[in-house]
Amino acid sequence: MAAVAAFAFLCLTGCSKMDQALDKQWMVVQFGPHTTIATVLHVRAACSHVKNAPPMPLPAQHSVVNMMYGVRFDTTNASLADMSRLQTCLSQFKAVQGVNPESTGDEGS
């Protein structure tokens, strides 16, 4: 009986962690074609103060292409007001061409 209870506990714990992983949301920043890495880093730093929307780690390789498509903000715990503040902050920069909200459910599509 104890083995069944332990197995059920492990299954529920695993499902909970899987649900948490599936609930991840972020905003991907899109930059113009001639944006420099310095500008990308400046925009990321300037908007990193927004509550509940911290910047996600940058790509390991800091090439222009990786950086231009690698700036993301974790909005999993952000309210609509937090996301609005993030978009307002990002929209102040001419290099930012857009912001796309994404989630783990969007991957692979």
pLDDT of residue 65: 82
pLDDT above 70: percentage of residues in the chain: 75
Q: Which two tokens stand for residue 100?
A: 């796309």
Higher local confidence (pLDDT), 106 or 20: 106
Q: Which domains does the chain have, with CATH numbers?
A: 24-102 (3.30.70)
pLDDT tens-digit map of 46-66: 999 999 999 999 988 888 888
What pLDDT, on the 0 to 100 scale, is given for residue 67?
A: 83
In this structure, what token pair is assigned to residue 79?
Answer: 């309210």
Query: How far is residue 25's CA from residue 106's CA, in Å, rounded to a whole number?
Result: 10
DSSP β-ladder status, 72-74 and 96-103: unpaired
Per-residue model confidence (pLDDT) at position 68: 79
pTM of the prediction?
0.74
